[in-house]
Structure 1
Amino acid sequence: MLLLLVVVLGIGLNLASAAKLGVVQTELGQVEGKSYFMGLFRSVDVFKGIPFANVPGKWEKPEPHPGWSGVLKATQYRDRCLQVTLLQGKTHGSEDCLYLNIFVPHGTTLSKGLPVMVYLFGGAFLLGASNDVEFLGNSLYDGKEMADRGGVIVVTVNYRVGTLGFLSTGDVRLPGNYGLWDQHAAIAWIRRNIEGFGGHPMNITIFGQSAGAASVSYQMLSPYNKGLFRRAITQSGVALSPWALQKNPMALTKKIARKVGCLRSDIDLMVTCLKMTDPVGLTLAGKIDVLLLLLKNGVVMDLLELSPVVDGDFIPDEPNRLFHNAAQFDYMAGVNSMDGHIFAGVDVPSINKRNANTTVEQVKGLLTGLTKVKGNAAAESAFNTYSSLWGSLPDQALVKKTVSDIETDFLFLVPTQIALQLHANNSNVTSTYSYLFNMKTRIPGFPRWVGAEHAEELQYLFGKPFSLPLIYFPRHRDLAGYMMSYWTNFAKTGDPTKGGSRVPSTWPAFNKYTHPYLIIDHSMGKSSVSYDLRSDYVKYWTQIYSTLPNIKRDDTGVKQGN
């Protein structure tokens, strides 16, 4: 009798946890993924490497995929788009790279009508992939935990980066923005096909981090995405970030042409030569030139050259003039408390050295590099603002933290606050939310004052404390649970507090007149809501610095006078 009971119970449990899609019909053909057990009565179907566009032509918009016969076994990630490696000595990836991955959660029955969250990876528009950073066989952007715990479908997307994704002449010869067109093609494919996977085609949220967040911002601003998705989340990056827009694309294209032997006085001949050049060589020519930084005494931001452009088409105008297009989307945006620290540590290395002082001259030098378009008066003005609370003998920890704050504000926080304000100003029926991620860094060796590093929120958002429990503590699992709840609630309802997942603090909306933000860490409660994030510094950059005149320069960048 006991044996019979065990057998019946086993069969019952197996059936109860066995909900899976099997073969799914898409517009291009049939696909079959793999089902993963996530717990009692819970599974996630994972489809890896589904093509959403054909192999792209060099510097051409993505074209529809021709489809396939039979059943595509979608069980392996496909190649990343051709790019330099992290150390930039060589390339990896392929031109055949426009694929996406889908994570679909189920209970005892197949899911239907689920919200859809589409993730765009970061990497300075230079590198990255939809399945980036493998650790213990687990991709950083593996969507299983978020899908399972949040009750949403997660989709991760590849797009072209580097020279092949963002080179531009600034005119019709090479308009640029090919990576943005790839993202748009993926979102459109998801809209057309996600219902077959159990998703709601009218409830799509796009989200991304760093260059992926700036990409999300551009997708919001482009007229091509009207009605295509419903909500958007930007994490540590917006289209207004100073590193997110090429101001002089032709100069960069000539520099890359020189590296590959294609520089010509006739631009048409130069472009023809570039189009005939080996893509690996072109990709290597777009790598970050660290030596140039050292020789010119510049700042890291100067090296982030390949990025979107105002092309008069996908991005028809300057980004700050396009927020009327973003008003149709609910919007959530924020930064990490020390987003700029990793860049500040390159620009002013002494901030991370225990026995080295950071001098006034070094702080002024950093500000001179960041504000060089407006000259020395701007750097002096910014220094006076940031040193106003130092006193006559400032503590070294305060000076070093100030250096990090300067880069965080300039590169990430202030542009994000401007984007939130512009969204709220243009929006009548959609919602706006602001956050500050402030979990202390887990990276060893940094000074005590270092808070949340650039990209550190991703491990929590994608549930790594649950999938890799041995390298995290309970407080990290608490934080991961909070983040997944807020993000997926927002995807469901447009309100991160409401949506079925419990959260530790009510998150009030940002609007034209009041600017609340949620402080996200492991010990959240009523005190986690604050107002007017770094408002004195936001006011400085938006109301004082922005009114200072730019220095006029000739085409070679030589200063011509004020």
Structure 2
Amino acid sequence: MMIHLVLFGLVLRSAAAAKLGVVQTEGGAVEGLNVDTGFFRTVEEFKGVPFADVPGKWEKPKPHPGWDGVLIATKFRERCLQVTLLQTKTQGSEDCLYLNIFVPHGLSVSTNLPVMVYLFGGAFLLGASNDVEAFGESLYDGKEMADRGGVIVVTVNYRVGTLGFLSSGDERLPGNYGLWDQHAAISWVRRNIRAFGGNPDNITIFGQSAGAASVNFQMLSPYSKGLFRRAICQGGVALSPWALQKSPMALTRKIARKVNCWQTEEDDMLACLKAVDPIKLTMAGKINLLDIFGKDPVMDLLQLAPVVDGDFIPDDPGKLFHNAAQFDYLAGVNSMDGHIFAGIDVPSINNMKETTTADQVKGLLTGLTKDKGDAAVSSAFDVYSVHWGLAPDPAIVKKTVADIETDFLFLVPTQVALQLHANNTSGASTYSYLFNMKTRIPGFPRWVEAEHAEDLQYLFGKPFSLPLLYFPRHRDLSGYMIAYWTNFAKTGDPSRGNSKVPVLWPAFTKYHQPYLVINNSMSKSSVSYDLRSFYVKFWTQTYSQLPSVGTMEEKKSIQTDE
């Protein structure tokens, strides 16, 4: 009898499995794969759907010519040509402008769902829409988020490295090709997502690290008007010091020399570059791992990034927030976003047997603040050592190093972006958070909290899809994050939607700066105010008002000439 009941249940379940089947897009028909996610619940996955043609070298993406028959979209396509993590070779292809769509269904086929488009991180140098495979599952698999949050999740490929971001700083090689790819993908989603059961008027873009900075650039671009409705930045904004190339032509010359384009005339050198094999060009953009433990901060090695091109990014990002006034905006950082970089710049912080000295802290500050010179180092050191006392606990000194890099690279720029959005908004909402769940990475000191990118496993529901690797507290946190993020996508308010949340998240406004502390034990006390305002004030006011070294040197030379 029991066997019959089970069989009847399985038959009933498969009979009731709603699915879109063959979907007609502007390029042709596509068919995905239905995956069971629970009783009478499935997620239909469409992997490797083209949103643009194979891009020409340093050209904007072009519309896809289309295809005949039905495209079976059940496998991820190759990532865009890039260096491997160890920077020893390349992987991927120039034929890479594809996206993946995850559509949740209940008893009936979904219609008019909110849509969330994810942009991956990876320093604008590497990454993919299906990155970091673990136990046969991509980190960015949208299945759990789609199923638990009741939204369509889309993950997107875009060009990275030299092919995505090399620039001459003018119209000859304008750069930002990776940003144009993202824009083309979001535009494709807007035009086609209704056929997949999505609402084209309710699109949220979200991303982490370089993907978060990309989200911010998309918000600031005049080309995005009316294209999407909301945006989420996790650990990165366009104002982050690593997110914008300041002197693109200098880097282009350096890349040119690596591929034997020695011409002194710039036009000749650029013509030579355009003729070089894409794999050689990609390798020329790699980071030399021997440089990583040099005297300069790691941040200085991350040179390939978007540029102010007078077109997609018409001006300095800080001056473009009027373009973002229409979008609801949610942004925040992990409490130890800078720790991974701090551990490379000052290796002693992760070594139990070594102490970190005041001179090492000053050395790090010298590298980060070289634009402002010695005055910046001494004033920054005073601000960050004020709580040490006469005989500081070695762990406090080490944590200070991580705090400096977190503040400088991530937290302060994010707070500035939130404030600029709140100051410019016209009816759209702004939300701020700090994610501080203790790290799950073994071997780190006890004081290390949330490492860079550690939020992603929870947002993409790994504690549910890989339950043996996590504890119940991790599933609690994952449920909270999916609820807040998908509520925000539905309504523009992370506390309001179909998903229950542990505590109401107040909006950040021009005169009132609350933020939500996100971890597994959330309560009313998870709402705080004025995130690290003492340090934000130092970097945005005291530090930014110091004269830059260049300005001081110019003044000296003028006085000498006189």
Q: Same fold (TM over 0.5)?
A: yes
Asked if residue 445 in structure 1 is aligned to residue 447 in structure 2, the reply is: no
Cα drift, residue 553 of structure 1: 8.4
**Cα pair 1:49 1:75 within 8 Å, conserved:** yes
Match of 2:309 in 1: 311
Unaligned 5+ residue runs, structure 1? none
| Distance in 2 separating the partners of 1:316 and 1:31 | 37
CA distance in 2 between counterparts of 1:294 and 1:531 reads: 37
- Aligned residue pairs total 558
Q: 2:296, 2:307 → 1: CA distance?
A: 23
Correspondence 1:368 to 2:366: yes
What is the CA distance between 1:241 and its match in structure 2? 0.1
C-alpha spacing 1:3/1:453, structure 2 compared with 1 (3 Å): closer
Shift of 1:561: 10
How far the C-alpha of 1:317 sits from its partner, in A, is: 0.2
Alignment of 1:83 onto 2:90: no
- The corresponding residue for 2:394 is 396
For 2:518 and 2:2, the matched residues in 1 are separated by: 50
Asked if 1:14 corresponds to 2:14, the answer is yes
Amino acid in the other structure paired with 1:466: F
Amino acid at match of 2:215: V
For residues 9 and 183 of structure 1, the distance between their equivalents in structure 2, rounded to whole angstroms, comes to 43
TM-score w.r.t. the length of structure 2 is 0.97
2: CA distance, partners of 1:468 / 1:561: 65
One-letter identity of the residue aligned with 1:191: R
Distance 1:256 1:9, change over 3 A: closer
Q: CA deviation at 1:522?
A: 0.4
1:294/1:454 Cα in 2 relative to 1: closer, same or farther (>3 Å)?
closer
Relative distance call for 1:550 and 1:189 in structure 2 (3 A) is same
Tell me: CA distance 1:354–1:294, structure 2 relative to 1, closer, same or farther (3 Å): closer
Q: 5 Å matches for 1:66-145? A: 66-145=65-144
Partner of residue 465, structure 1? 463
Aligned to 2:524: 526
Say if 1:507 and 1:518, in contact at 8 Å, map to a contact too.
Answer: yes
Q: Is the 8 A contact 1:553 1:560 kept in 2?
A: no
Q: Give the CA deviation at 1:4.
A: 7.4
Question: Deviation per CA, 1:350-373, whole angstroms, max 9, x where unpaired?
Answer: 000001010010000000000001
- Report the residue type matching 2:186 in the other structure: I
Q: Give the 5 Å matches for 1:472-483.
A: 472-483=470-481
Q: Over aligned residues, Cα RMSD in angstroms?
A: 1.7
Instruction: Encode CA deviations 1:185-239: one digit per residue, 9 max, x unaligned.
Output: 0000000000000000000000000000000000000000000000000000000
Match of 2:298 in 1: 300
- For residue 451 of structure 1, what is the amino acid of its counterpart? E
Matching residue of 2:158: 159
2:248 is the alignment partner of 1:249: yes
Specify the code of the residue in structure 1 equivalent to 2:284. Answer: A
1:275 to 2:252 alignment: no
- Report the CA distance shift for 1:66/1:402 in structure 2 as closer, same or farther (over 3 A): same
CA shift in 2, pair 1:174/1:140, >3 Å: same
Following superposition, the deviation at residue 264 of structure 1 comes to 1.6
Partner residue, 1:384? 382
What is the CA–CA distance in structure 1 between the aligned matches of 2:86 and 2:312, rounded to whole Å? 32
Deviation sequence 1:253-287 (CA, Å, 0-9, x none) = 00000100013211111011000001111101101
| Whole-Å separation in 1 of the counterparts to 2:279 and 2:7 | 58
Name the structure 2 match of 1:506.
Answer: 504
Residue identity matched to 2:419: Q
Contact 1:113/1:198 (<8 A) preserved: yes
Q: Secondary structure at the match of 2:36?
A: strand
In 1, Cα distance between equivalents of 2:293 and 2:13 = 63
Distance 1:404 1:561 in 2: 40
CA distance in 1, matches of 2:6, 2:363: 73
Runs of 4+ in 1 over 4 A off after TM superposition: 1-10, 559-562
Checking the alignment, whether the CA contact within 8 Å between 1:238 and 1:244 is kept in structure 2 is yes
Name the CA distance, whole Å, in 2 between partners of 1:38 and 1:561: 71
**Aligned AA (2:188):** W
2: distance between equivalents of 1:319 and 1:125? 17
Q: Distance in 2 between matches of 1:129 and 1:174?
A: 24
CA distance in 1, matches of 2:286, 2:5: 64
User: 8 Å contact 1:417–1:538 — kept in the other structure?
Assistant: yes
Aligned-pair distance for 1:552?
Answer: 1.3
| Aligned-partner Cα distance in 1 for 2:256–2:62 | 26
